[in-house]
Chains A and B, each alone.
Chain A
């Protein structure tokens, strides 16, 4: 089959590799019909994530048709499914609590040591996201092997367009969980840092959960425009001082809840953090704000901090004093995708949530490297790239 493989920083290629096979009783093989490039794939593309190996197949947002099932899979051939990016067993203590991204068993035993060393306990496996999270092949390919297929994939109606449900795999549940973690009470004002896909879905979700006002912060005019369409007020941090704007817009109180949907490429992860420190020490400063620091300072006393943004390592200058003195609460984590999928599918079918506005480009899988470059180089215009293996075939 053809698959998008990682070979190093800014080096991804479409290669021919062996087709996946059923290896465990609960496996299924999915023929990919649509897959997307995630903002967090850019962390891999930029070389920020350790434990990658040349030839790794990327992609953790994907859907398709069931073509093969193991004896313990509950799926049937021909079903249309969306696959969550978290690989969870459904039977361990954490899955029992619906903390799917904390699954004990989704990550192979030999890959769990790194997570234990870095974080104290290993987390679940993830598709196409380094060997620390299992070393699983991702879905930016023609086919993918899906473990625990009786727990993860959600069957969607045959007649629904892929574009409407593809984002159930990651970013829609991630945006929703971000808003849920903000513990929004009716009438609250919520500020969201970052108007990428997760930030935009968090804006939508915050309104659905009862926020009276949502203030969206970014520096890409097109992305701020999208946030405005959902009713958010906007702050462009290249034009305005974010803290001053937020304080004035909230009557000097600060937002009741703040959501950081920016994450490690702004600051904080290994190499990036070091560069940040070097820049700071040379008085160059950085052109990206430190979103979580700013969010904590702006948040009202006793407010909530929700952090869907991905961080991997250690963060310098975390304002622990402000956090303690103001009595804030922080909720975060990799998304428990399986927990949110059914309700969000209903919301899509009922027309309460639209995700198609996000897609700016659709490319054949063969042109995936071009998609990565576009997404990386032009984040203003390129909001989401969807890859379709069949598009290339159709053109032939």
Chain B
């Protein structure tokens, strides 16, 4: 096969869809990837227990476990308010993937997936994908408000905190005093 025909046959490159230069007006998709120097099983186990996530996701106020697949998420909203919804795990592949979706009737419809892929000596590639309405839509605006930051930036920082906690046993802070640390987290 000539190089020319190979080129002609290539409809799509290997880059993830989240890096596409084409925009999809009906739907926004963000993905962030981090490599964590720990085994996939350990990372999956941490993420599978929703109670653990409050430590790394800094806009979360609480997650209450309802049953094996359902949990209630409460996030901090502007002006000291809180917004809460029920999240349901709709796909669970131990050691590999967790996909969740907000239950019908939630004020803020959202869905996400976290994947754990073995990376050999480097540990595990962790990829978070979050789907939401684009910022123009009513739901998108609400999501942006709830997250306080662009969801992608929020997801990236949350993953970095997850990495820090799993690799070092703590989340790095440059605060000098407990008071400063509390203000930073508020």
Q: Is the interface of A mostly helix, strand, loop or mixed?
A: loop
Is the CB–CB distance between B160 and A134 below 8 Å?
no
Q: Contacts of A104 on B, CB cut-off 8 Å?
A: 163, 167
B123 closest partner in A (C-beta): A93
**Which residues from 166 to 182 on chain B have a C-beta closer than 8 Å to any C-beta of chain A?**
167-179, 181
Query: Nearest chain A CB to B158's CB is how many angstroms away?
Result: 8
Interface: A21 (CB within 8 A): yes
Q: Contacts of A91 on B, CB cut-off 8 Å?
A: 37, 167-168
Query: Nearest chain A CB to B31's CB is how many angstroms away?
Result: 15
Q: Contacts of A137 on B, CB cut-off 8 Å?
A: 174, 176
Interface: B153 (CB within 8 A): yes
Is the CB–CB distance between A105 and B174 below 8 Å?
no
The contact of B172 among A17, A72, A108, by CB within 8 Å, is A108
Interface: A96 (CB within 8 A): yes
Chain B interface residue bracket vs A? 20 to 34
Is the CB–CB distance between A93 and B122 below 8 Å?
yes
Interface: A18 (CB within 8 A): yes
The contact of A24 among B37, B167, B173, by CB within 8 Å, is B173
The contact of B157 among A87, A93, A96, A109, by CB within 8 Å, is A109
**Which residues from 1 to 39 on chain A have a C-beta closer than 8 Å to any C-beta of chain B?**
17-21, 23-26
The contact of A20 among B157, B161, B171, B176, by CB within 8 Å, is B176
Known: A93-B123, A109-B157. A18 touches B179 (CB 8 A): yes
The contact of A93 among B37, B156, B171, by CB within 8 Å, is B37
CA distance A19 to B178 in the complex (A): 10
Per-position binary interface string of chain B over residues 50-74, scored 1 when its CB falls under 8 Å from any chain A CB and 0 otherwise: 0000000000000000000000000
Query: Nearest chain B CB to A372's CB is how many angstroms away?
Result: 22
The contact of A92 among B37, B157, B158, by CB within 8 Å, is B37
Per-position binary interface string of chain A over residues 43-72, scored 1 when its CB falls under 8 Å from any chain B CB and 0 otherwise: 000000000000001000000000000001
Is the CB–CB distance between A113 and B153 below 8 Å?
yes
Known: A21-B178, A145-B176. A93 touches B35 (CB 8 A): yes
Interface: A242 (CB within 8 A): no
Interface: A325 (CB within 8 A): no
Per-position binary interface string of chain A over residues 204-228, scored 1 when its CB falls under 8 Å from any chain B CB and 0 otherwise: 0000000000000000000000000
**Which residues from 110 to 150 on chain A have a C-beta closer than 8 Å to any C-beta of chain B?**
110-113, 125, 134-137, 145, 147-148
The contact of B177 among A21, A109, A111, A112, by CB within 8 Å, is A21
Interface: B33 (CB within 8 A): no
A113 closest partner in B (C-beta): B153
Query: Nearest chain A CB to B62's CB is how many angstroms away?
Result: 20
Chain A interface residue bracket vs B? 35 or more
CA distance A148 to B181 in the complex (A): 17
CA distance A253 to B70 in the complex (A): 73
B180 closest partner in A (C-beta): A18
Interface: B164 (CB within 8 A): yes
A70 closest partner in B (C-beta): B170
Is the CB–CB distance between B164 and A105 below 8 Å?
yes
Q: Contacts of A25 on B, CB cut-off 8 Å?
A: 169-170
Interface: A196 (CB within 8 A): no
Is the CB–CB distance between B168 and A26 below 8 Å?
yes
Query: Nearest chain B CB to A1's CB is how many angstroms away?
Result: 10
Known: A93-B37, A109-B161. A18 touches B176 (CB 8 A): yes
Interface: A106 (CB within 8 A): yes
Known: A125-B174, A145-B176. A105 touches B168 (CB 8 A): yes
CA distance A21 to B178 in the complex (A): 7
Interface: A89 (CB within 8 A): yes
Is the CB–CB distance between A148 and B168 below 8 Å?
yes
Interface: A107 (CB within 8 A): yes
Q: Contacts of B174 on A, CB cut-off 8 Å?
A: 108, 111, 125, 134-137
Per-position binary interface string of chain B over residues 92-123, scored 1 when its CB falls under 8 Å from any chain A CB and 0 otherwise: 00000000000000000000000000000011
Is the CB–CB distance between B170 and A108 below 8 Å?
no
Query: Nearest chain A CB to B108's CB is how many angstroms away?
Result: 23
CA distance A136 to B163 in the complex (A): 20
The contact of A23 among B122, B156, B158, B173, by CB within 8 Å, is B173
Q: Contacts of A108 on B, CB cut-off 8 Å?
A: 171-174
Known: A18-B177, A93-B35. A106 touches B172 (CB 8 A): yes
Per-position binary interface string of chain B over residues 128-164, scored 1 when its CB falls under 8 Å from any chain A CB and 0 otherwise: 0000000000000000000000000100111011011
**Which residues from 29 to 45 on chain B have a C-beta closer than 8 Å to any C-beta of chain A?**
35, 37
Query: Nearest chain A CB to B55's CB is how many angstroms away?
Result: 12
Q: Contacts of B173 on A, CB cut-off 8 Å?
A: 23-24, 108, 147
A-B contact pairs, 18 of them (CB 8 A): A18-B176, A19-B177, A21-B176, A23-B178, A23-B181, A26-B170, A72-B170, A90-B168, A91-B168, A92-B163, A93-B123, A106-B172, A107-B172, A109-B157, A110-B157, A112-B157, A125-B174, A148-B168
In the complex, the 7 A-B pairs of residues with the closest C-beta atoms, listed nearest first: A109-B160, A24-B170, A135-B174, A109-B157, A136-B174, A89-B168, A20-B176
A91-B37, A125-B174, A148-B168 are known contacts; what are 10 more A-B pairs with Cβ within 8 Å? A21-B176, A23-B181, A26-B169, A91-B167, A91-B168, A108-B174, A109-B157, A109-B164, A134-B174, A136-B174
Point out residues on A near B: beta carbons under 8 Å. Answer: 17-21, 23-26, 57, 72, 87, 89-93, 96, 104-113, 125, 134-137, 145, 147-148
Point out residues on B near A: beta carbons under 8 Å. Answer: 35, 37, 122-123, 153, 156-158, 160-161, 163-164, 167-179, 181
